[in-house]
Structure 1
Amino acid sequence: MVHPQVLTLNDISYEYPSSSTPLFEHISVTFPSGWTAVLGDNGIGKTTLMQIVIGHVKPDSGSIAPKPGSLISAYCPQRTDEAPENLEDFAVDWSPETLRIRETLGIGDDWAYRYDSLSGGEAKRLQLACALSLRPDLLILDEPTNHVDEPTRLAIAEALRSFSGIGIVVSHDVDLIEAACSRCVVFERRHMKGRNVTAILEFAGGYADMTAQVERRDHAASDAAVSANKEANRLRHIRAERFQQVQKADAIKRHGERIDARDHDARERRIGAKALSLDANPARQYAQLGGRLAAADERAASIATAAKRYDGQIWFDIESSHRRELVHLPAGVIYYGSDAVIAEPDSGHYMALARLRVVSQGTGSMPAGSAAINPAATASQSTLSQPVLSQEPEDTLGAADSPRVGVAIPVLSVGPRDHIGITGPNGGGKTTIVNAVLRSLGGWNDKSVEQIDQNDQANSGGEMPYLMIAQNTTDDDAQRALAQLLELPGEVKSQVLSSYAQLNANPDRLAAGTSPSPGELRKLLLCLGIAQHPQLIIMDEPTNHLDLHSKQALAAALQAYSGALMVVSHERWFLRQVASTLWEVG
């Protein structure tokens, strides 16, 4: 297939119908053949621009060449609850090209027939496989490595490298960008002329090259702004002196004074005033300085510098629980599809069980706003350039002919201040374990789960407030969260919006009633939840959909949380920051 060589966007502007300010204005950018990474903060407009590119959203102004609809286009969305439109066609497509796609991504033969039962990582792989099977001219992937483990990241990187058309990947996965992308397009909020504006900047190279270029540009812009402001302040000071001289000369000229011949000081003042009036002409110099100062202020204001990021602590006015134990799961087996712990499982299932082990680790001491990821180090250590593994993630847990039926656990306990990370491959049982934890929180007297210590049970003091944020969210979740925010009392609403801002988000968009993006929604759900003072927070893949700065802000916030925390994640650096103990499924 002969693919087009370049996609061009010229002078694109767009404003949400419910908004009073544009999302972006006068955006121009090109996407040549090969993979281009699109990066930027949550809610800045990346997904909306991709929707404009494929023709699902019409811009307010500007043009696209080739026009939307004239190319064979495929779009892989962020959320995994959106089944691919060509899922049925893919299910019966056994052409050699599609077979290679199935093998590269490890797609099971029955996956297309049971999409609703797939794990997040499996659904993401199937979404990508369906998109690639269309043999598109233009392929857009929106956060393709959300929900996935390391083997799946390997498979996705291999699939991207095999595509020869125009590829656009909206992602903050440093390893993926370094492995597959030769260009980066960055959405940025730049501060210019007293306000923040959205700009798009294009950079050659992968993530490490882009960040180095951004640092050099920001440093140069900062130096230029300091120099321009210093010159404007110098001129402002000189102009103030000239103004005093003008006033002094005018006062002498208007009022005059009879001077005693013996008053030498007064005679000198008059001579000086005449010199100012006749020779220096302070009035003319004062007027000239006004023009120079206006030009200097304009130069200083026109220098675009990086917009300020929030680096404060999130609002956590929360006390930890007085209970000695918040969660207790007995040793046993949790079968997939169930949330009950079975103390004496079927012995025939022994070889078909994933297993959980508890590992202690020291949490980091990352201050708010500091870099949690070293892009250059991450790129150099990336494993995505290695040959892709063809087996499914579940096969890494044991014999390939023993499909997993559940996960075996030791006694698991969560104390009032424990910070626990849960990690492991897709399909291993992480969500199954979380479901068992939630079941235990639903009632201390549930007889299908072994009881906790009788003293703790007697002193439990009623229900414990906890917050659970699931892996997947929907548009309905966004609307409910926004409605809940707008109905809060003024003081609580201000606290929630302040916390939201500290997570690298724009509270003005929420206050205006704009529906949050998936990444913004996760931040909003957390901020709404902590307003209820939970003593336990459970988050399933909390970094999904978040930009890098937001991940860093979230890690700093959760690290400071004084209650109990359980976090499911594939991102080891994030778990090192927020968790002191790991529950590893393997």
Structure 2
Amino acid sequence: MQPITLSLSNITFTYPTADSPLFAQANCTFPQGWTAVLGDNGIGKSTLMAIARGKLRPDSGQVSPNNLVLSYCPQDIAVRPVNLEDFAADWQPETIRIRERLGIEDDWAYRYDTLSGGERKRLQIACALILNPDVLILDEPTNHVDEPTQQAIIEVMRNYQGIGIVVSHDVTLIDATCTRCIMFERRHVNGRNLTEIITYQGNYSQATQQKHCNDRAASQRLADARKEISRLESAQSQRFAKVQQIESAKQHGERINPKDHDARNRRNLAKMTGLDAGVSRSYAQLNGRLAKVRQTGEAISTASKRYDGNIWLNIEPSSRRELIRLKSEVIPFNKQLLPEQLKDKSLTMAAQSSNVIRLNPPQDGEAPQGVKIPLISIGPRDHLAIIGPNGAGKTTLIRAMIDAAIDIPMLVIQQNTTLADTERAMTLLHGLSQADKSMVLSAYAQLNADPDRLLQGEVASPGELRKLLLCLGLVSKPQLIVMDEPTNHLDLNSKVAFARTLGSYPGALIIVSHDDWFVRQLTAANGSH
């Protein structure tokens, strides 16, 4: 059987209300194996995937071949798979293998609405796989899932043999599964910002190395072009002055002293050798070279500028030696239970190493009834990450820490936000003084967000709302920040900005995260803090 490739050729797409195309003449191919599709939120990734699936029709261009079986797993876990009942009744050997790889229980398909986010995601992927598709598209498959679910998803992705496309911001997932990356990039060309779709070989870590090398090379080519333009403009100015001097002499006549033999000889030599014409010809040639170099410089595409500043101006850590102290104890999930009523075999065990607390639930698979913690002490500059599977007790531990932080200026940002949270944030923003509003919007821009879209009334996405809530918190100058899953819904450039920003925060920081890459970046940054 010949390998198949999905090709999108010369795709141009414009939304009905937009003034310009979202992308124009875009080309990309998807061979067998896994390809990651990356880019900022709102840049067009999901739109391109909808075109690939035939759900949207482009202004121009084509998708080929058009007879492939495509299966799509949406980002939203609330979307029930259309073939859920078929999956529930399917006990073929391959379906059983999919169930086993994803750890799907027999009754899950009959109680979809009661499942956790990670369980629903496993079912969505399983239902997509049993269709035996030529092309499988996964949209943010690891949002809201814990490490075991992430690893299960990685395993089934590795076993899939068709054309795999994953739209994701999960570096761990991409590095473990993908051999190509297609990146939507904001580029600067001839004074304009454009979106380009660029293909890189390798996983995310390898692709970003190539991208950085290409960006450096493009910046150097642009610098060289500008240097050459400056040199040629200087030479052009000198030759233009010479041409003007010759033309002036022709028009007004050059009176030469009869006794100035050298001047008379220069004039005669110029007439004999055609020097006048040579200067003019040289000037014209220089014009052509200059125009060509300018054209080359205008065509060079460089990475658009991103903000890279410090948003924590005028924020000082607490003068206390210790902000939070929790003694070694058992914290029951049910407050009606006493710690002594719980046995170790029913507990999550918390273990701390360096800047990370890992929660390990009971080995027998039973749901834990509490979490057993060591002595935990958090100082005014400490940065701490709490990790572990869903249901292990991270929320319980966070609540205990917040309760223990008495009289500390604190900012707490929860994992799940609502439209009401967005409305309250916008009300707070518009109620600020002009100076505070400018500070908040400047910080918002440095987190890879667009303040203009916010001020124009566009509803902030969940990821953008997280950025706004963090920036609004600057006004109260918090000495402790607590964030639950800060990278959910964030694109990779925003994750980088978040890691850089939170890593440089001068106060105490506690995060809960399933994002292994983000935790490594943040704890590494704190190591040099």
Same fold (TM over 0.5): yes
Match of 2:200 in 1: 203
1:573 aligned to 2:520? yes
Indicate if the aligned counterparts of 1:184 and 1:203 stay in contact, CA closer than 8 A: yes
Match of 2:473 in 1: 529
Task: Provide closer, same or farther for how the CA distance between residues 228 and 141 of structure 1 changes in structure 2, counting only shifts above 3 A.
Answer: same
Match of 2:373 in 1: 409
CA distance in 2, matches of 1:518, 1:510: 13
Counterpart of 2:85 (choices 78, 86, 89) is 89
Deviation string 1:382-433 (CA, Å, 9 cap, x unpaired) is xxxxxxxxxxx99x63341643222123454444433222122333111232
Deviation string 1:229-273 (CA, Å, 9 cap, x unpaired) is 333333222211111112323343444565555668977897799
Match of 2:7 in 1: 8
CA distance in 2, matches of 1:436, 1:57: 49
1:75 aligned to 2:73? yes
Output aligned runs, 1:350-499, within 5 Å.
350-361=344-355, 397-400=361-364, 402-438=366-402, 460=407, 464-473=408-417, 490-499=434-443
1:132 aligned to 2:96? no
Query: SS at the partner of 1:188?
Result: strand
Output aligned runs, 1:199-348, within 5 Å.
199-256=196-253, 258-261=255-258, 279-321=276-318, 326-327=323-324, 329=326, 331-336=328-333, 344-348=338-342
Letter in 2 for 1:403: A
Letter in 2 for 1:138: V
Deviation string 1:187-211 (CA, Å, 9 cap, x unpaired) is 2222222222111122344345534
Task: Provide closer, same or farther for how the CA distance between residues 241 and 346 of structure 1 changes in structure 2, counting only shifts above 3 A.
Answer: same
Query: SS at the partner of 2:349?
Result: strand
* Range 527-536 or range 563-572, more displaced: 527-536
- Displacement after TM superposition at 1:139 (Å): 2.0
CA distance in 2, matches of 1:414, 1:117: 37
Task: Provide closer, same or farther for how the CA distance between residues 403 and 187 of structure 1 changes in structure 2, counting only shifts above 3 A.
Answer: same
Indicate if the aligned counterparts of 1:486 and 1:511 stay in contact, CA closer than 8 A: no
CA distance in 2, matches of 1:534, 1:87: 49
Match of 2:143 in 1: 146
Unaligned runs of 5+ in 1: 363-392, 445-459, 582-586
Paired residues in the alignment total 523
Indicate if the aligned counterparts of 1:245 and 1:276 stay in contact, CA closer than 8 A: no
Match of 1:540 in 2: 484
Indicate if the aligned counterparts of 2:503 and 2:523 stay in contact, CA closer than 8 A: no
CA distance in 2, matches of 1:527, 1:397: 35
Task: Provide closer, same or farther for how the CA distance between residues 314 and 40 of structure 1 changes in structure 2, counting only shifts above 3 A.
Answer: same
Counterpart of 1:559 (choices 480, 496, 503) is 503
Letter in 2 for 1:358: Q
Query: SS at the partner of 2:521?
Result: helix
Query: SS at the partner of 1:317?
Result: coil
CA distance in 1, matches of 2:452, 2:272: 57
Task: Provide closer, same or farther for how the CA distance between residues 413 and 348 of structure 1 changes in structure 2, counting only shifts above 3 A.
Answer: closer
Indicate if the aligned counterparts of 1:333 and 1:345 stay in contact, CA closer than 8 A: yes
Task: Provide closer, same or farther for how the CA distance between residues 530 and 440 of structure 1 changes in structure 2, counting only shifts above 3 A.
Answer: same
Query: SS at the partner of 2:227?
Result: helix
- Displacement after TM superposition at 1:159 (Å): 0.6
Indicate if the aligned counterparts of 1:7 and 1:31 stay in contact, CA closer than 8 A: yes
Query: SS at the partner of 2:36?
Result: strand
- Displacement after TM superposition at 1:438 (Å): 4.5
Task: Provide closer, same or farther for how the CA distance between residues 357 and 33 of structure 1 changes in structure 2, counting only shifts above 3 A.
Answer: closer
Provide the identity percentage.
51
Counterpart of 1:501 (choices 439, 445, 449) is 445
CA distance in 2, matches of 1:213, 1:225: 18
Query: SS at the partner of 1:202?
Result: strand
Indicate if the aligned counterparts of 1:74 and 1:134 stay in contact, CA closer than 8 A: no
Deviation >6 Å, runs of 4+:
263-277
Letter in 2 for 1:406: G
- Displacement after TM superposition at 1:3 (Å): 12
Q: Considering Cα pairs closer than 8 Å and 6+ residues apart, tell me whether 1 or 2 has the greater RCO.
A: 1
Task: Provide closer, same or farther for how the CA distance between residues 177 and 493 of structure 1 changes in structure 2, counting only shifts above 3 A.
Answer: same
CA distance in 2, matches of 1:557, 1:414: 20
- Displacement after TM superposition at 1:186 (Å): 1.9
Match of 1:33 in 2: 32
Query: SS at the partner of 2:29?
Result: strand
Indicate if the aligned counterparts of 2:318 and 2:380 stay in contact, CA closer than 8 A: yes
Letter in 1 for 2:369: V
Match of 1:456 in 2: none
Indicate if the aligned counterparts of 2:85 and 2:109 stay in contact, CA closer than 8 A: no
Letter in 1 for 2:10: D
Task: Provide closer, same or farther for how the CA distance between residues 85 and 36 of structure 1 changes in structure 2, counting only shifts above 3 A.
Answer: same
Query: SS at the partner of 1:30?
Result: strand
Indicate if the aligned counterparts of 2:147 and 2:388 stay in contact, CA closer than 8 A: no
TM-score (norm: length of structure 1): 0.76
- Displacement after TM superposition at 1:354 (Å): 0.2
* Range 221-230 or range 163-172, more displaced: 221-230
Letter in 1 for 2:504: A
Indicate if the aligned counterparts of 2:38 and 2:183 stay in contact, CA closer than 8 A: yes
Deviation string 1:324-350 (CA, Å, 9 cap, x unpaired) is 6544555543344x5x596x3253543
- Displacement after TM superposition at 1:22 (Å): 3.6
TM-score (norm: length of structure 2): 0.83
